[in-house]
A and B are shown apart, each in its own frame.
Chain A
Amino acid sequence: MSTLITRDYAVSSKRSWSPSGTYYVSIIGSLESNPARDDAAMKMVQAGKFSNLRVRVDSSGTLGQTSSVTLLKRDATSANWQATDLTVSWVGAGNNNHKTFENTDDEVEFSAGDLFCWEIVAQATGLFSLRHVLVRVQDQ
């Protein structure tokens, strides 16, 4: 068994979303969304796993409504997208602004050729903005 190599993939920028809806973001580079998950999704070229999702929320969105960031996966051999367990959610509230939400419980394995992107479900009647999405990646 080879040693797993650990590092972080990140997207970041000063970014707000409106109106409410679902947006898709690549897993490396700039925190800029695309309306099509196939366009945002990056292709992995070797096997590994994702874990330790951290999402920095600047403005948490519509008061009392739940927004989320979820890792989406499409197997190399499939045309179907699936939401993975690597997800965080929060409720729009003043005390959830400027806060980092984490999922350190779940892991998502991948194979060469699998596709991944972030799905942002934004409740954006109020101001909704994120600053970065960080995830641990381990492969050989």
Chain B
Amino acid sequence: MAVTDYAVSAEAHWDDGTADQFVGIQGRLITRATLSDVAQKMSRDGTISKLRIRVIISSANGAVVVTLMKNGSATLLSKSIPTNTSSSIVEENSTSVSFSAGDELAWKIDLPSTGPNAPQGTTSQWIAAQVGGGPEDDTVDFCLGGQYTATADIAFSPQQMGCVQGGMITGANLGDAEQMQSRAGTISNLRVRIQSHELGDSTLTLMKNGSATDLSVSFSNSDSFPGTFEDTTHNVSFSADDELAWQANFEDLSGGESTTLIYISAKVVFD
């Protein structure tokens, strides 16, 4: 069975007593309080298992529970991080959860109530799980996840670039974002989750070897936010050694407006 690891990484800290936090399954480990803001839609049928969590330090006032959410409901793939865990990889290897194309997955982090003991919070570095199973093992999700707010500053350019995998926008230079592919395939089903968008018409487009492709979404400040914008019509083939990146085209935001992206994902079917 062919499988692959989906992971979120970056040091994150939560204080005891914080309401449930949620994070998608690929990208940067940055959590939000609203599940629907971060849940990532899957492009294939499959299973998810072998949950691993790097705990730097956990609360002394109760367990922290990490649970896979599927379409808004808790699944059986869950792990309780014991009180006072430090410098450990906590694992759950006995549970597997199936999902279907279109299902939305995220991690829920259930934090303990406030208490008298120190540490009064929990810090984690990454959460990983294995995805695979079924007849679609040549299909994966490329995801650039986390959070990025475009707003005018000294170096702001209306064109911002992102890698096709990783932890959000890399800046205005396309070459910084282009990722050379190891394997040929077809990319489609672009999904862009946007938290807010305050000015004008913008686009998010797949770039291949420096040129814009047909895989693109458009959004306007007259649309409803938060929202997920999709292109399920176009697909783009690529070869091994082709370079892929995302290009966002914003308005001039010099009036103080902003746009906040949560994730950019797409379906990839390898040849």
Contact = CB atoms under 8 A, between A and B. Distances in A.
A6 interface: yes
Contacts, number: 149
B222 to A, nearest CB: 29
Interface string B73-102: 000000000000001010100000000000
A10 B175 contact: no
A13 B168 contact: yes
Chain B contact residues: helix, strand, loop or mixed: strand
Interface in A38-56: 38-46, 52, 54, 56
Interface stretch (A27-35, A63-71, A82-90): A27-35
B52 A132 contact: no
Contact of A10 (B52, B165, B183, B270): B165
B117 interface: no
A30 B29 CA distance: 8
A12 B144 contact: yes
Given A7-B4, A39-B56, A45-B5, A32 B87 contact: no
Chain A contact residues: helix, strand, loop or mixed: strand
Interface string B157-184: 0000011111111110101110111110
B166 A13 contact: yes
B62 interface: no
A30 B11 CA distance: 10
Contact of B10 (A29, A46, A134): A29
B167 A42 contact: no
Contacts of A34: 11, 56, 125
Contacts of B182: 6-8, 52, 136
Q: How large is the interface on A (under 10, 10 to 19, 20 to 34, 35 or more residues)?
A: 35 or more
B146 interface: yes
Given A34-B125, A132-B163, A42 B5 contact: yes
A14 B171 CA distance: 6
A42 B166 contact: no
A62 B128 CA distance: 35
Interface in B177-209: 177, 179-183
B170 A46 contact: no
B28 interface: yes
Contact of A40 (B125, B163, B166): B125
Contacts of B89: 43
B154 interface: no
Contacts of A32: 9-11, 28, 167
Contact of B2 (A5, A26, A134): A5
A13 B140 contact: no
A37 B52 CA distance: 16
A61 B5 CA distance: 32
Contacts of A8: 165, 179, 181-183
B10 A12 contact: no
Contacts of A26: 7, 9, 125-126
Contacts of B140: 7
A81 interface: no
Contacts of A6: 182-183, 270
6 contacts: A7-B183, A8-B183, A13-B169, A45-B130, A56-B175, A132-B176
3 closest cross-chain pairs (CB), A and B: A30-B167, A12-B166, A29-B9
